[in-house]
Amino acid sequence: MTKKKGRVFSGARPTGRQHLGNYLGAIKNYVALQDTYEDTIYCIVDVHALTTVETTSELKQNTYDMTLDWLAAGMRPDESMIFVQSHIPEVMELHTFLSMVTPLGKLTDLPTFKEKVRQQPHNINYGLVGYPVLMAADIALYKAVAVPVGVDQAPHLEFTREIVRSFNYRYNTNVLVEPQMVATEVPKVLGIDGKNKMGKSLNNHIELASTPKETQERVMQMVTDPQRARLSDPGNPDVCNVFTMHKIFSDAEEVERINDECRKAEIGCVACKKLFAKNLNENLMPFRERRAEFAQDPAYVWDVLNDGADRARVIAQETLSEVKEAIGLP
Ligand code: SF4
């Protein structure tokens, strides 16, 4: 297959062992983009994490665990540059330059900033305000032409594009590239509570690297159709998160059968969940085997990150020197 020209960039916070929501919402797409774009850059944005984390004691382990999961899921370090944001300090410099062309009022007006202020009123730090500028620097530093984002994140990318345009306009240059959005279909993955988006903070997640037994235990806790109190009550798969997951991880015939039997009360939720747990574990088996192999050599995982940083740094330094020249810095 001929790959598209240009570079894709995406960043993710070091959240440690990844869960189904991370996989379906981002990692799966990261892996696929390697086949469609010439250059793929995936950055673990540890500096961004500092705006919200209470303690940094787990940052290193989380970075390692996340990289391990990424590699096991099929991210290929010989093709993609996988690295840690803080290993390329040039991004902080570009952030400073971009901050000069970004109106403060716009930053404090952003719904995401207001949301964070609500969430952590005891810690409204400068980094929270400058977050979108650092994000713009992440993307612009590597001259990414494309950024995969779900529809809900589209306004963030639009803001990056504005900052890039402002910079180019202010300094009468075209050094920085306005990235395009690669619209990705990100399914809304609900947690085992069946209500909220899957995430670690709500402890409603299912980790990819769990054992089959742990996975089954989590699946058995999943909330199903709330109207179905007894086995003899017909269920409604359309409002059941277990069914949504079956559609992703079970084969079409089985999905069709569950759909039918659930509505006729011919299958119970316990049996349905056991089936899902079995199918999920089967789907995750190759991932878990690869992960166990990578885990035997932790030095390799750090080598991947160091090598990714070395390659990314070359691009970063080049861009930064062009940026300084465009500004007219002596
Ligand atoms: S039988 Fe399956 S699809 Fe139907 S409500 Fe129960 S868990 Fe959901």
Residue 81, domain CATH:
3.40.50.620
- Per-residue pLDDT reduced to its tens digit, 243-280: 999 999 999 999 999 999 999 999 999 999 999 999 99
The CB-side HSE value for 217 (13 A sphere, CA atoms) comes to 6
- Residues 246 and 307 reside in one and the same domain: no
Q: Hey, which of 222, 228, 255 would you mutate to test ligand 1's pocket, going by the most ligand atoms within 8 Å of its Cβ? A: 228
CA quadruple 48, 51, 54, 55: dihedral sign: positive
* Arithmetic mean of pLDDT, 280-300: 98
Look up the pTM and report it: 0.94
Ligand 1 atom nearest to 243, measured from its CA: 3
8 A C-beta contact, residue 241 and residue 223: yes
**Number of domains, the chain:** 2
- Residues 59 and 91 reside in one and the same domain: yes
Residue corresponding to tokens 């990150």: 305
* Arithmetic mean of pLDDT, 189-199: 94
What per-residue confidence (pLDDT) applies to 209?
A: 97
Q: Which amino acid is at 5?
A: K
- Distance from Cα 293 to the centre of ligand 1, integer Å: 36
Q: Which amino acid is at 13?
A: R
- Residues 74 and 91 reside in one and the same domain: yes
Q: Hey, which of 246, 254, 262, 275 would you mutate to test ligand 1's pocket, going by the most ligand atoms within 8 Å of its Cβ? A: 262
Q: Quote the distance between the C-alpha of residue 43 and its chain's center.
A: 10
Q: Please check the confidence at residue 12 and state whether its pLDDT lies above 80.
A: yes
- Residues 239 and 178 reside in one and the same domain: no
- Residues 153 and 9 reside in one and the same domain: yes
- Residues 39 and 160 reside in one and the same domain: yes
Residue 73 resides in a domain = yes
Q: Report the alpha-carbon distance of residue 277 to residue 270 in Å, rounded.
A: 11
- Residues 304 and 241 reside in one and the same domain: no
- Per-residue pLDDT reduced to its tens digit, 27-52: 999 999 999 999 999 999 999 999 88
Q: Please check the confidence at residue 19 and state whether its pLDDT lies above 90.
A: yes
Ligand 1 atom nearest to 246, measured from its CA: 3
Residue 202 resides in a domain = no
Q: Which tokens sit at 183? A: 């619209």
- Full residue range of the structural domain in which residue 273 is found: 212-292
The CB-side HSE value for 58 (13 A sphere, CA atoms) comes to 12
What per-residue confidence (pLDDT) applies to 275?
A: 98
- Residues 23 and 109 reside in one and the same domain: yes
- Residues 140 and 21 reside in one and the same domain: yes
Range 314-317, long-range pairs (CB < 8 A, 24+ positions):
315/141, 315/142, 315/143, 316/88, 316/90, 316/91, 316/141, 316/142, 317/90
What is the chain's mean pLDDT, rounded?
94
The dihedrals phi and psi of 26, each to the nearest 5 degrees, come to -140, -55
Residue 197 resides in a domain = no
What per-residue confidence (pLDDT) applies to 53?
A: 80
The domain spanning residue 241 has which CATH number? 1.10.240.10
Ligand 1 site residues (CB inside 6 A) read: 224-225, 228, 235, 237, 240, 242-243, 258, 262, 267, 269, 272-273
- Residues 174 and 279 reside in one and the same domain: no
DSSP letter string over 169-220? Answer: HHTT---S--PEEEE------B-TTSSSBP-TTTT---BTTS-HHHHHHHHH
What per-residue confidence (pLDDT) applies to 1?
A: 67
Q: Which of 145-154, 189-198, 283-292 has the lowest mean pLDDT?
A: 145-154
What per-residue confidence (pLDDT) applies to 186?
A: 67
- Distance from Cα 93 to the centre of ligand 1, integer Å: 53
Kindly give, in sequence order, each residue whose CB lies less than 8 Å from that of residue 80, ignoring residues fewer than 6 positions away. 30, 34, 40, 41, 42, 308
- Per-residue pLDDT reduced to its tens digit, 139-179: 999 999 999 987 777 888 999 999 999 999 999 999 999 99
- Residues 256 and 164 reside in one and the same domain: no
Q: Hey, which of 223, 269, 270, 279 would you mutate to test ligand 1's pocket, going by the most ligand atoms within 8 Å of its Cβ? A: 269
- Residues 10 and 98 reside in one and the same domain: yes
Residue 80 resides in a domain = yes
